[in-house]
Amino acid sequence: MSDEKWSQRDYHHPAAGWGAARSVLGLIAGEGEWVDGTRAIFRVNHENGGFDCPGCAWPDDLKGLKLDICENGIKHVTWEMTRKRVDRDFFARHTVTELRHWSAFELEDQGRLTEPMVYDPDTDRYEPISWRDAFDLVGAHLRALESPHEAAFYTSGRLGNEASFLYQLMAREYGTNNLPDCSNMCHEASGRALKASIGTGKGTADLKDWEAAEAIFVMGVNAASNAPRMLTALAEAHQRGTRIVHVNPLVEAAATRTIVPHDFVEMGLMRPTRTSNLNLQIRPGGDMALMRGIAKVLLEKAERDPRALDPEFVERHTTGFEEYRALCAATSWEQLERQSGLDRERIIDAAQIYSLSDRTLISWCLGITQHEHGVDTVREIVNVLLLRGNLGREGAGPSPVRGHSNVQGNRTCGIDHRPTPEFLDGVAEACGIDPPREPGLDTVGTVRAMNEGAVKVFVGMGGNFAKAAPDTPYTAAGLRKCDLTVHVSTKLNHSHLEHGRAALILPCLGRTEKDHQRAGLQSSSVEDSMSMVHLSVGMKRPASPHLLSEPAIIAGIARATLPDSATPWEHYVEDYDRIRDTMAQALTGFEDFNRRVRLPLGFRLVQPARELVFLTPSGRAEFSLAELPDVVPAEDDVLVLQTMRSHDQWNTTVYSNDDRYRGVRNLRTLVFMNARDMRDRGIAEGDPVDIESTSRDGSRRRLRRYRALAYDVPRGSAAGYMPEMNVLVGSADYSTQSDQPLMKNLLVRVVLSTDTEEEANHGERIEGARAR
């Protein structure tokens, strides 16, 4: 973070390659982690021993060189393994009010948290507290609440399966389903859509399918930065002749060419592999129209050539086909072109690639889900797959790219504010508790409830709720209204500083560290994007002798809160095999858990839809019949703004102000715009602009003196970075289908700034909410 001037120019090198290699070396050296860093890298994602890379949820490669790592994974691992420490002296030197002005980078860069800390309002500082007193404080607050629903238990997607199971058990034994999680902002739409369409809320494809596909659609994901190991799959697929279609308003680095990250020969020769056959620069939110257009082309073609569809599959395994056919016929090309922002010819090109392939995978991430119509769009993706039987067949199926490394496992193990009756029955029987049956609060609901005084205790199991959640000042105000906020964390972040009247920071072991309990060295399991469950074992000495594991912290809180609990909390923590034995009884698909998770590559959870068993009301895969929404803003001067990640950040952790593949150096307070949209507004390259959003409740919010940069985005759309831009997301701006905040769909006006430098960059709310 220097005062060095910013710059932006096109990046012409392939993704991964030497830019990435240089960056990795700098990172390892920079953190003073040469030895540990390099040793750790060779232990990431290994089949025997080693820890699961916390960088993303892409599965481990099962073949070839076991060097399945990437630049951003290494960045993430070395960040956790830093030698720097945030100790009691640090907290003694800085008041909370002072720290609140530090950047996210500056806070995390102080290093690892070392001991439990409690907030002292008299000194406005965090001070040391013993674990026992910390647990007692949480227990006292939770026991004093009038109703268990006055507490919320947030989870960020790093938490291992065993800890997730204990955490949900504690919340439910205590009496609430208030289990908001990061998935509420991430893939909630995918889960709901897949559950409705095919009966189970997960993708059906695995890495073998990626290797067998004849066509792959990559929709709304910046793979080179956020799932870099996907680059290998794409490059290898392209070399095999697989046709690859990228759908994205931006042409991202992975959508052109890459150097296979672990192919050192190719790196040496600088020989890039192409990763695309077709790039479709879609209008934001236009993906559903594209999918419907593809279906329309296929259905018209099928009138002359029945092989355009898979009539046998449709007949045997689906319902609603005739209605869907009629819906497609009734949707005009004019509508499809306008809503997708694509010409008919381009849609036909995509349909052609799709219809010439007998094995097609469609993968997607936040560009699809963080929209009002995220659920309908994912269901439309499934509709298109069903038409040609691309399900339950090798090389085919829906393949959402999940975010956090264990976000899928969290859900499987019960982190869900809307648990199914079957799930609760399993837990009730195996654990002898009587769980609450009514749905709990999700992320958006928790923020509102804290502000309304309905939630008084907030427990965050990892993550950075204050910055990750929408409407930053409103979320902060909610946290500050709480009687108690508790954060289980590895590093300091703003959530510790927007605290309740009483507040605790509880430091935990990271995934790279050895977790010793009474029965010896413990391991935790995780589930990747493709339903593979395997063990992760830390190999480093803990950052401090005072750290506890997440299961131990949960057990400590549970015992203090539920003194008469029949759950053997201490017994569980002594040996995680015991937790797994209970999970084997409680959770479907976890039979014989302890044995199977120790198989060299773990095991694959059964995904019934892949076996063509559909747990839907009809027992079949269900075509969805949603009306095509209007995604074009009503007013001409409004732009649709998306908030995304740079190459050099991990969610709320910002490593630098650079964004290599988009050619940006030293600037995050930027907005990418179409050059013609800039000209229309009298804005020149790099001019300071104000960005004003209008929320659904009529309230307006503004960011000042951002820099406008011309970028290849469709007219009428714009892009900038999360989490800074969360100040523009109103608390009313969430999808009615998924309750996900509309982080890729903000309606904004951008104008030349008339402010002075001093007024720069502070997000603000500029008008009270009008009633809807």
Ligand X SMILES: Nc1nc2c(c(=O)[nH]1)N[C@H]1C(S)=C(S)[C@@H](COP(=O)(O)OP(=O)(O)OC[C@H]3O[C@@H](n4cnc5c(=O)[nH]c(N)nc54)[C@H](O)[C@@H]3O)O[C@H]1N2
Q: Which two tokens stand for residue 427?
A: 């837990």
Exposed / middle / buried, residue 485 (Cβ in 10 Å: 0-12, 13-18, 19+): buried
Residue with Cβ nearer ligand X (389 or 763)? 763
Q: Work out whether strand 520-522 and strand 524-527 pair parallel, antiparallel, or are unpaired.
A: unpaired
Name which of ligand X, Mo ion, none residue 175 binds, using a CB cut-off of 5 to 8 Å depending on partner kind. Answer: none
Residue with Cβ nearer Mo ion (17 or 723)? 723
Name which of Mo ion, ligand X, none residue 250 binds, using a CB cut-off of 5 to 8 Å depending on partner kind. Answer: ligand X
Q: Any contact of residue 673 with Mo ion (CB under 5 A)?
A: no
CB 222 within 8 A of CB 15: no
Q: Any contact of residue 246 with ligand X (CB under 6 A)?
A: no
Q: Which two tokens stand for residue 81?
A: 């393994």
Q: Any contact of residue 651 with ligand X (CB under 6 A)?
A: yes
Among the listed residues 177, 178, 204, 222, the single contact to ligand X using CB under 6 A: 222
Shortest Å distance, C-beta 558 to ligand X: 16
Q: Any contact of residue 726 with ligand X (CB under 6 A)?
A: yes
Report DSSP letters for 396-434, one per residue. -EEEE--SSTTHHHHHHTT--SS--HHHHHHHHHHHT--
What are the DSSP E strand ranges found in 391-531?
397-400, 457-461, 484-489, 502-507, 515-517, 520-522, 524-527
Residue with Cβ nearer Mo ion (107 or 189)? 189
Contacts of 332 (CB under 8 A, 6+ apart): none
Among the listed residues 186, 351, 535, 605, the single contact to Mo ion using CB under 5 A: 186
Shortest Å distance, C-beta 331 to ligand X: 19
Residue with Cβ nearer ligand X (182 or 639)? 182
Residue with Cβ nearer ligand X (302 or 670)? 670
What strands, in cross-sheet order, belong to the sheet with 360-364?
Answer: 278-280, 243-247, 215-219, 360-364, 397-400
Name which of Mo ion, ligand X, none residue 744 binds, using a CB cut-off of 5 to 8 Å depending on partner kind. Answer: ligand X
Q: Any contact of residue 652 with ligand X (CB under 6 A)?
A: yes
Among the listed residues 403, 510, 538, 723, the single contact to Mo ion using CB under 5 A: 403
Contacting Mo ion within 740-759 (CB under 5 A): none
CB atoms within 10 A of CB 368: 29
Residue with Cβ nearer Mo ion (365 or 639)? 365
Name which of ligand X, Mo ion, none residue 16 binds, using a CB cut-off of 5 to 8 Å depending on partner kind. Answer: none
Distance separating alpha carbons of residues 288 and 428, to the nearest angstrom: 40
748 HSE (CA, 13 A, CB side): 34
Shortest Å distance, C-beta 712 to ligand X: 11
How many residues bind ligand X (CB under 6 A)? The answer is 62
Q: Any contact of residue 645 with ligand X (CB under 6 A)?
A: yes
Name which of ligand X, Mo ion, none residue 489 binds, using a CB cut-off of 5 to 8 Å depending on partner kind. Answer: ligand X
Contact letters (x/-) for ligand X, 387-406, by CB under 6 A?
----------------xx--
CB 118 within 8 A of CB 434: no
Residue with Cβ nearer ligand X (370 or 669)? 370
Per-residue 3-state assignment (H helix, E strand, C coil) for 574-641: HCHHHHHHHHHHHCCCCCCHHHHCCCCCCEECCCHHHHCCCCCCCCCEECCCCCCCCCCCCCCCCEEE
Among the listed residues 112, 125, 158, 540, the single contact to ligand X using CB under 6 A: 158
Task: Tell which residue, 626, 627, 216, 191, has the closest CA to residue 369.
Answer: 191
Residue with Cβ nearer ligand X (53 or 433)? 53
Q: Any contact of residue 188 with ligand X (CB under 6 A)?
A: no
Shortest Å distance, C-beta 30 to Mo ion: 26
Locate tokens 């017994």: which residue? Answer: 571
Distance separating alpha carbons of residues 580 and 224, to the nearest angstrom: 35
- What is the 8-class DSSP label of residue 758? G
Residue with Cβ nearer ligand X (267 or 282)? 282
Contact letters (x/-) for ligand X, 67-86, by CB under 6 A?
-----x--------------
Distance separating alpha carbons of residues 49 and 452, to the nearest angstrom: 47
Exposed / middle / buried, residue 428 (Cβ in 10 Å: 0-12, 13-18, 19+): middle
Name which of ligand X, Mo ion, none residue 645 binds, using a CB cut-off of 5 to 8 Å depending on partner kind. Answer: ligand X
Contacting ligand X within 533-562 (CB under 6 A): 550
Please give the angle made by the CA atoms of 554, 557 and 560, to the nearest 5 degrees.
Answer: 145
Contact letters (x/-) for ligand X, 87-126, by CB under 6 A?
---------------------x------------------
Shortest Å distance, C-beta 164 to ligand X: 12
Encode burial over 85-98: b for 16+ CB neighbours within 10 A, e otherwise.
ebbeebbeebebee
CB atoms within 10 A of CB 10: 8
Q: Residue 291 in 3-state DSSP?
A: helix
Residue with Cβ nearer ligand X (151 or 309)? 151
Distance separating alpha carbons of residues 396 and 388, to the nearest angstrom: 10
Task: Tell which residue, 283, 189, 248, has the closest CA to residue 640.
Answer: 283
Contact letters (x/-) for ligand X, 503-522, by CB under 6 A?
-----x-xx-----------
Residue with Cβ nearer ligand X (310 or 724)? 724
CA max distance for the chain = 80
What is the distance between the terminal CA atoms of the chain, rounded to a whole angstrom?
42
Contacting ligand X within 268-297 (CB under 6 A): 282, 284-285, 287
Name which of Mo ion, ligand X, none residue 491 binds, using a CB cut-off of 5 to 8 Å depending on partner kind. Answer: ligand X
Rule CB under 5 A: which residues touch Mo ion? 186, 403
Question: Rule CB under 6 A: which residues touch ligand X?
Answer: 55-56, 72, 108, 156, 158, 182, 185-186, 219-222, 225-227, 247-250, 252, 282, 284-285, 287, 365-367, 370, 403-404, 461-465, 468, 488-491, 493, 508, 510-511, 550, 642-645, 649-653, 722-723, 725-726, 729, 743-744
